[in-house]
Chain A
Amino acid sequence: MSDAFDLLYSETEEELRSAVRALLADRCTPAQVLARAETGRPHDPELWHTLAAEIGTAGLLVPEKLGGQGAGHREAAVVLEELGRAVAPVPYLTSAVLATEILLGLGCEAPEVALLLAELAAGRQVCAPALPLTQAPGAPLPGAVRDTGGGALTGTVGSVADAVAADVLLVLADTGLYAVPAAEAALSPLVPLDLTRPLATVTLEGAAGTRLADPATARAAIAGALLSGAGLLASEQVGLAEWCLTETVRHVRGRHQFNRPVGSFQALKHRLAQLWLDVASARAAARAAADALATGAPDAPLTVAVAQAYCSGVAVRAAEECVQLHGGIGMTWEHPAHLYLKRAKAGSLALGTPGHHHALVADFAELPSP
């Protein structure tokens, strides 16, 4: 068999993890996340500025000559693990991964593309792709936005993640890909299942934007970005699952019932041991996806599909176990378990459901349906 994926973390990656974790421990505790979510404006622009610009995480995927850090998917995956652990309400997946990858996929000769990329990499602007969060790699792209003449864009896109935090929207229209200032669009915030990743309906009525690419180039770039996004989402799911497991273990060790710590009952121990195994397995799958994306491995699409087919389910189950094993406490608004459950469940719909990714595996592994 060919060379295996590098599934470990490098020292540099661990240093990056420490920096992000320290920042989030200080400024993105579950109580702070919940308090912001209750205002209906979950994003914390100052936290984003520190994370994106000062620690430099926004430009990890961007080459240095274009103003980025020149790192790659493995490093971005580590950032996402930490963001998942904190259910951090920051537009990392949308702006630093999906929008950035779309722009990179256009080729960066055009000055307007290079300029926007540099702005994103420096954390000076936030950019959201105007696509439904459920848009999956390998699925047909929406065609609802049309150029009604002279670059006047008209159409509606639903369930756009992080649009409310964006300065710029990347809009796929029948005539190509456009960078549209958010002010040109009408945003109707939706009530999201996941309180930490806000959704909005984006409506364009003759909006003006800058055309970045022709339709074929745009569609290819979006397809590549969706693949990266799905692969890296797996790392966010691993981080989320890890938090749920750690907190649940902490709880059952301290919580006494029947004159014993509840964590000493075999029925619970076996469930948690199995969950630990599933999280350890999800980590291997997510690392494989990140490494395959980083190296441009030919089997990256299969590896990403495997990671998404597996990690979504582990994250949901970890969050469900967290609620169940916290008992009544897990059902309360004040305990953060619900934030994780909501993120996990919504995340399992994002960028393709496990069912969709299983179908992709069937294609790549040549296991045809009946």
Chain B
Amino acid sequence: MTAITADHLVTRIRDLLAAHPPADTDRTDFLRARFDAGLAWVHYPEGLGGLGAPRSLQAVVDAELEAAGAPDNDPRRIGIGLGMAAPTILAYGTDEQKQRFLRPLWVGEEVWCQLFSEPGAGSDLAALGTRAVRESGSGDWIVDGQKVWTSSAHTARWAILIARTDPALPKHQGITYFLCDMHAPGVEVRPLRQITGEAEFNEVFLTGVRIPDSHRLGAVGQGWAVARTTLMNERVSIGGMRIPREGGMIAPVAAAWRERPALRTHALHQRLLQLWVQAEVARLTAERLRQQLAAGQPGPEGSGMKLTFARLNQEISGLEVELLGEEGLLYEDWTMRRPELVDFTGRDAGYRYLRAKGNSIEGGTSEILLNIVAERVLGLPPEPRDDKDLAWKDLAR
């Protein structure tokens, strides 16, 4: 087999556009055809939306299709499915699971959410207590427990779920990974109103939820290894996007500074310039990571970018509220709402300030990520842990 080149892709893209002109094709139909042409995620295998091509060529496809005015699959709306469920299903799924789930996931016909965190297991994720018990006879799994901080649970059709299947084993060993039908009886989603006033997250209660064994991902008891694939992919996704200079959180602050001279003070100017420089350096660092990935020499910078952006988003949005003076005392609207997508930069300065507080908690707290950098990148010794060999049922809680 010859290697796929950019020229091959351009030919395929032209064929796709000729057969399905974006102007007269239904959005979903176009996306399905794009998936079937192997142009959804070109590094995926043939038949699963890809062509087994180098990942770096995706940029060629995206640029060509965008230039042709083709609809995209709105990655913001399906981010958890794209960034977390899909690579995990690809790595661990059976052929049947890959065929069943990947196409509707990518097209956006089925939204995914992630049932990992629990009230008693956040940073110490492996301590989770949601139980999955196998029913003798049917072989189905019966799941009971509670999950929390679940973005998109109210719009999701499917969930990736980790549950404890053997409490007698140490906490990392007795976990199994499932694909959970969010419409199954016993799944209850309750909005969780948060600091911004809206309910972007949910609590999810699982009561006697029945999951067929065909929806288990990976071997029984191997759920932690599968979950690590999911978590690694969650943190890698940052490198993929190219950010323009003065993009992101710094943009509205710089705009306010330029447009409203009355707000300017010397002290604020110093802080603005420092943060502007830090934002530009963070952008260059993310760009360098992207170039490393494209060149097939992934660097460890990916482990750190989320830390940097979390800190910067918090500092920049904090400055923005102060800069606005009297207006900074106001908040747009506290009405409870349930947004369909997570938007860190939308709405007003007060919203950005409050929402950014979550950046250092969600997707691994900054403290946990600093440990990961220290241990995996710098090779520093782990903190002593006395729970590693204890059965989960014997842990203090």
Q: Smallest CB-CB separation from B282: which chain A residue?
A: A281
Cβ of B287 within 8 Å of any chain A Cβ, yes or no, is yes
A5 touches B284 (CB 8 A): yes
CA distance A248 to B61 in the complex (A): 45
| CB pair A367 B285 closer than 8 Å | no
Q: Which listed residue, B257, B274, B379, B382, touches A358 by the CB 8 Å rule?
A: B274
**Stretch among B65-73, B90-98, B114-122, B370-378 lining the A interface:** B370-378
Report the Cα distance A309→B278, complex, angstroms.
9
- Give Cα A260–Cα B385 distance, bound, in whole angstroms: 13
- B373–A273 CB distance below 8 A: yes
Name the contact of A7 in the complex, choosing from B245, B246, B287, B297 (C-beta under 8 A): B287
Contact call B304/A277, Cβ cutoff below 8 A: yes
Flag B83-106 by CB within 8 Å of A: 1 or 0 each. Answer: 000000000000000000000000
Asked if A366 CB lies within 8 Å of chain B CBs, one says yes
Question: Which chain A residue lies CB-closest to B369?
Answer: A273
> For the complex, would chain A's binding face be called helix, strand, loop or mixed by DSSP majority?
helix
Q: Does B330 contact A (CB under 8 A)?
A: no
10 pairs of A and B residues whose beta carbons are closest in the complex: A269-B374, A370-B264, A264-B381, A273-B373, A7-B288, A284-B285, A284-B284, A273-B370, A277-B304, A284-B288
Distance in angstroms between the alpha carbons of A285 and B308 in the assembled complex: 14
Question: Given the known A-B contacts A285-B284, A367-B272, A367-B273, are A264 and B383 also in contact in the complex, defined by CB atoms under 8 Å?
Answer: yes
Counting residue pairs across A and B whose Cβ atoms lie within 8 Å, the total is: 137
* Nearest residue, chain B, Cβ from A7: B288
Answer whether residue B291 sits at the interface, using C-beta atoms and an 8 A cutoff: yes
Nearest chain B residue, comparing its CB with the CB of A249:
B378
- Contact pattern, A 259-284, Cβ under 8 Å of B = 1, otherwise 0: 01101111011101110110011111
Q: Which residue of B lies closest to A282 (CB)?
A: B281
Pairwise interchain contact A253-B379, C-beta atoms closer than 8 A: yes
Q: Closest CB of chain A to B54's CB: distance in Å?
A: 16
Instruction: Please state if B384 and A1 are interface contacts (CB–CB under 8 Å).
Output: no
Residues of B within 8 A of A25 (CB): none
Asked if A4 is an interface residue, CB under 8 A from chain B, the answer is: yes
* Bound Cα distance from A306 to B367, whole angstroms: 28
Question: Does A358 contact B244, Cβ atoms closer than 8 Å?
Answer: no
List the B side residues contacting A277 at CB < 8 Å: 304, 307-308, 373
List residues of chain B with CB under 8 Å of any chain A CB. Answer: 242, 244-246, 254, 257-258, 261, 264-266, 269-270, 272-274, 276-278, 280-282, 284-285, 287-288, 291-292, 295, 297, 299-301, 304, 307-308, 367, 370-371, 373-375, 377-384
CB of A298, distance to nearest CB on chain B (Å): 13
Interface residues on A, range: 35 or more
User: Cβ of B373 and Cβ of A8 under 8 Å apart?
Assistant: no
Inter-subunit contact B380/A283 (CB<8 Å)? no
Nearest residue in B to A269 (C-beta to C-beta)? B374
Within 8 Å of chain B (Cβ to Cβ): is A341?
no
Query: Knowing A1-B244, A269-B375, A284-B285 touch, does A369 contact B381 (C-beta < 8 A)?
Result: no
Q: Which residues of B contact A281 (CB under 8 A)?
A: 281-282, 284-285, 308
Alpha-carbon distance A287/B288, docked complex (angstroms): 9
Report B-chain residues with C-beta under 8 Å of the C-beta of A264.
380-384
Known: A1-B244, A5-B287, A367-B272. 14 other contacts (CB 8 A): A272-B374, A273-B370, A273-B377, A280-B285, A280-B301, A284-B288, A285-B285, A310-B281, A358-B270, A358-B277, A359-B273, A365-B276, A367-B257, A367-B273
**A231-273 to B contact mask, C-beta < 8 Å, 1/0:** 0000000000000000001001100000011011110111011
Q: Are A260 and B258 in contact (CB under 8 A)?
A: no
Asked whether A361 is an interface residue with its Cβ less than 8 Å from the other chain, the reply is yes
Contact of B304 among A260, A266, A268, A276 (CB under 8 A): A276
Q: Which B residues are CB-close (under 8 A) to A222?
A: none
CB of B262, distance to nearest CB on chain A (Å) = 10
Measured between beta carbons, the chain A residues less than 8 angstroms from B381 are 253, 260-261, 263-264
Residues of A contacting B264 in the complex (Cβ-Cβ under 8 angstroms):
368-370
